[in-house]
Amino acid sequence: MPRSDNRLPLILDAAARLFREKGYAATSMRDIAAAVDMLPGSLYYHFTAKEDLLVAVYEEGVRLITEKVRAAVARHAEPWTRLEAAAVAHLEALLKTGDYALVVIRVLPQDVPKAAARLVKLRDGYDRLFSELVAELPLPPETDRQSLRLLLLGALNWSQHWFRENGRNSPRSIARSFLKLLREAQKP
Amino acid sequence: MPRSDNRLPLILDAAARLFREKGYAATSMRDIAAAVDMLPGSLYYHFTAKEDLLVAVYEEGVRLITEKVRAAVARHAEPWTRLEAAAVAHLEALLKTGDYALVVIRVLPQDVPKAAARLVKLRDGYDRLFSELVAELPLPPETDRQSLRLLLLGALNWSQHWFRENGRNSPRSIARSFLKLLREAQKP
DNA sequence: CTATAAAGCAAACAGTCGTTTGTTCTTCTT
DNA sequence: AAGAAGAACAAACGACTGTTTGCTTTATAG
């Protein structure tokens, strides 16, 4: 049975922050240990390898985004509104919730060969959520739904590279203007 | 004056390939040296530091994409057609030309603190090209041109993560279907 | 209050990292 | 043919890497 002073959550937080800031390879176990005021070797009481630490962060990241998006979608009924709610939630999870979610889209599975399969599986599970939302949309039969999904999700994920919070810009406003651009294409 | 057996181009090729495959931090100078059958220290005759090697690859990558896109755009006059040509050229440069171009969008400036400023400058120069193309478009006055650019360019850049060449999919067909989705939104 | 298991310390392991230095080979110029 | 400069070798530097081992502290269950 775990103790109440268990610092595993702190380790995960620090790892998520550092993996997001510097990437997986450039973050050392000593960096993470120092961030939680521990000795490097002590981390191995909680994780048997650096990759497992990444997988743990990844799992939590996917869990957080999925949860937020599911909750947001559930509040609406109209297909386009549901997709917009999902886009907003996705972007807010990425740009506001912070470290865990960003690690998921910033650290590439191929950078961690031994854990790649597990990471891809986690990502794919999440992708299916958006596939379902796009499938609901009332679209002209010639519209390519897969392209629509990839266009939206790609643009949302890429926003990490240029987004800076300020008065005019917010994750919500960006997601909305993206959706507006896509939505009007499919009206009669 | 350089000698005719100068192997600097080979070094750049190998570095580009490895940086693309494994990322900057996970690629060692020894990896690169081994790929061109050299000793690690010999690389320092051509580059004073690992970061400079990355910057050199980056410069070549930006040069290649810019060249391809400029040439493609110049072949057309109608604004939407010009943007489509740019999107196709951009995606082909990324997914077909290969290593150099992909390094530019795969290696983040923030992962190389000492060279970050130089890398960002190179990227921004390229971005302006797309800004100009979007500015040419005949759009309803309420359309957000910046969002349109970010939506398109983000989706194109993200495609590196899911694209696999096959009979039905090609860089050209993807760029075209993305543009079709955007274009129809802006028609009367 | 004591036994038990959780959590972390302390110190080291073998290997890898980017880089430097002095020397040697090889192409090119004249 | 001889000298100069280009290019790479050979070997090492100290710092840093992920990880292991044995021992100690500390909270909690009985």
ipTM of the assembly? 0.91
Supply the pLDDT for residue A186: 57
C-alpha triplet A182, A183, A188: angle, nearest 5°: 125
Render pLDDT for B139-155 as a digit per residue (tens, 0 to 9). 999 899 999 999 999 99
Render pLDDT for B53-82 as a digit per residue (tens, 0 to 9). 999 999 999 999 999 999 999 999 999 999
Averaged pLDDT for residues B110-114: 89
Average pLDDT of chain B?
94
Which residues 145-184 in chain B show a CB within 8 A of chain A? 147-148, 150-159, 161-162, 174, 177-178, 180-184
C-beta pairs of A31-37 under 8 Å, 24+ apart in sequence:
A36/A7, A36/A10, A36/A11
Identity of the amino acid at B64:
L
pTM over 0.90: yes
Contact: B23, A108; criterion CB under 8 Å: yes
Contact: A182, B183; criterion CB under 8 Å: no
Query: A145-158 and B145-158 helices cross at what angle (nearest 10)?
Result: 100
Say which range, A174-188, B21-35, B80-94, B160-174, has the weakest mean pLDDT. A174-188
B31 CB closer than 7 A to any strand C atom: yes
Averaged pLDDT for residues A77-100: 95
List Cα–Cα distances, A139 to A70, A133, A145, A175, in angstroms: 23, 12, 9, 20
Render pLDDT for A58-70 as a digit per residue (tens, 0 to 9). 999 999 999 999 9
Residue positions counted in chain A: 188
Rounded to an integer, what distance in angstroms lies between the CA atom of residue A157 and that of residue B148?
A: 15
Residue B19 confidence (pLDDT) above 80: yes
Structure tokens given for A75: 């509040």
Supply the pLDDT for residue A188: 45
The minimum CA-CA distance between A171 and chain B, rounded to whole Å, is 12
